[in-house]
Chains A and B, each alone.
Chain A
């Protein structure tokens, strides 16, 4: 695993992506500090960090786009498959390397509150929430990196990997806002869940190419949904929006901006990362079978 880790780290810095990501993040951080803290005079560094969360939308795909897609493109994945090594270890090696690169600008950003304190005239930076938000930023990045790695394992084209990652991240970021538009009516909630169920069915069908399996799975989902609706009719009002908001990555991140160190969010991010890595291993293993 260590060999894979070091190789991935090397490739991030041999190619430009590692530097590009770092430069992008630090440039954005500089701008945000300039606007939020220096020009506007806010002393809450966590606000700056919150906006930095948006920068991930483009920065993380830069980092993850080539990781596995490039291996497939160059056919070096053949080497990985023939190594006497577990696929989980290979994926973990890659992920930890990406995580390391991702963390470098965050370490630099850790210095900012200290620098800002020395500049502050009207009231110092409060370190607790500032560093709490930085920790949150790291875990948000960890979740996104894992999703990006998964998407990278689905294609052999870096561009597709990048585009798909940005699209998926945008969906995960803003689905909370979209969900708010749906009426909080019970029926609307049910309809939204039903559509979601069909979407899951469609994805299952596309991934397994097995229409019977996908059909049965969708039917089970939809029936379960209707049963739930009949049993707990009242709790359905506005439920869809609530659920989606809980799942949206950025809505959760906004808690840190409100000076709350949200352990639930961190657990959620770690879970998302875990599930994505599991899916990455499965996607890699699946290629053996196709």
Chain B
């Protein structure tokens, strides 16, 4: 378990990580999501002890990463953004070196090496120089390196960046299978990736945690308040009068157009359910012809943009997920991680 409390990192006047608080539970795949420069790598570097925080505390299974780095680091396997590979070695040599540097007992090195090599599928390239390996294989060597020493927590910083689509799928499958036996934290700015792999998503923006929930819940959060767009052949006042009588509507925005038409944007309140039929009937009962009715689909992408651009939605999102963290947990675990 990782407990991060009040983590702050300042570079001169710039605040890269700003009072970050979260807890990472065992046996869950976490996705660290945020735009470039949001502080993902900085946070990961601090959690793994590569960087010192300006303020705050990181506890790994109760061991403070600053005060007790040896015990804390033993529990973490880390793949930085650029895999730290010695390109003049072969994967076999390199992994043996890392195992020894992580003080894996000499008798266990052979066995551990075999295990991580088979997990990451490196058997065929063990004796080629890392310099000559493809990017996908290098990434695998990097992941294999993180797995050595049998850490409970695996932290991967943008593990699929720069890989081709096939390699991305392979690495994702690998991470999913790791999630069955380890706690995994991975960072990404690719939404579909987080959606596909993770049980829990931590959305971070400008060094601040803006949401922490399951991908499904984050999506639902925004799907609940549905937006409908209509074009009605009537005056703006008539449309407004009609729609205001309906229940379950949060806001109506009407712009009058030429030749008696107006464009209407209707946002329903949360839990209002589907409103398209009600809208249509209400307008036709009032003999106002509906020319167009469209439901704007929300997905994690919208949730992400809403959370990271700070246009009012983030507060709502944050409140929601704070209220139902347990709910999210259950759903995350209930869903098939594979």
Chain A: residues with CB nearer than 8 A to chain B? Answer: 2-4, 6-7, 10-11, 14-15, 74-79, 81-86, 288-290
Contacts and interface: CB of A to CB of B under 8 A. Distances in A.
Contact of B49 (A15, A75, A81): A81
Contacts of B50: 78, 81-82, 288
A75 B78 contact: no
Contacts of A85: 70, 101, 103
B101 A78 contact: no
A66 to B, nearest CB: 11
A82 B97 contact: no
Contacts of B71: 84
B102 interface: yes
A76 B93 CA distance: 15
B120 interface: no
Nearest to B80: A78
20 contacts: A2-B100, A11-B88, A14-B88, A15-B88, A74-B85, A74-B87, A75-B80, A76-B86, A78-B50, A78-B78, A79-B80, A82-B49, A82-B78, A84-B69, A84-B70, A84-B103, A85-B103, A86-B70, A288-B50, A288-B52
A288 B42 CA distance: 11
Nearest to B70: A84
B48 A4 contact: no
B100 A77 contact: no
Interface string B1-29: 00000000001000000000000000000
Contact of A79 (B76, B84, B87): B84
Nearest to B51: A288
A288 B49 CA distance: 8
A6 B96 CA distance: 11
Nearest to B78: A82
Interface in B93-120: 93, 97-98, 100-103
B5 to A, nearest CB: 19
Given A7-B97, A83-B73, A84-B74, A78 B102 contact: no
Interface of B: 11, 48-52, 69-71, 73-74, 76, 78, 80, 82, 84-89, 93, 97-98, 100-103, 145, 149
B48 A82 contact: yes
Contact of A76 (B49, B52, B84, B149): B84
A7 B86 contact: yes
Contacts of A78: 50, 78, 80, 82, 84
Given A11-B88, A74-B87, A84-B103, A79 B98 contact: yes
Contacts of A3: 97, 100-101
Contacts of A81: 48-51
Contact of B73 (A4, A6, A84, A290): A84
A44 B11 CA distance: 59
A80 to B, nearest CB: 8
A82 B73 contact: yes
A14 B87 CA distance: 10
Contact of A77 (B49, B70, B84): B84
A98 B290 CA distance: 82
Contacts of B87: 74
A174 to B, nearest CB: 36
Given A81-B48, A82-B50, A288-B51, 10 more contacts: A4-B101, A7-B86, A10-B89, A11-B86, A14-B88, A15-B88, A74-B86, A83-B102, A84-B74, A288-B50
Nearest to A87: B69
User: Top 4 nearest A-B pairs by Cβ distance?
Assistant: A3-B100, A79-B84, A84-B73, A81-B50
Contact of B76 (A4, A7, A74, A82): A82
Nearest to A13: B88
B136 to A, nearest CB: 18
Contacts of A290: 11
B52 A289 contact: yes
A54 B98 CA distance: 38
A59 B80 CA distance: 35
Nearest to A11: B88
A35 B141 CA distance: 53
B147 to A, nearest CB: 13
Nearest to A89: B101
B57 to A, nearest CB: 16
A109 B106 CA distance: 37
Nearest to B71: A84
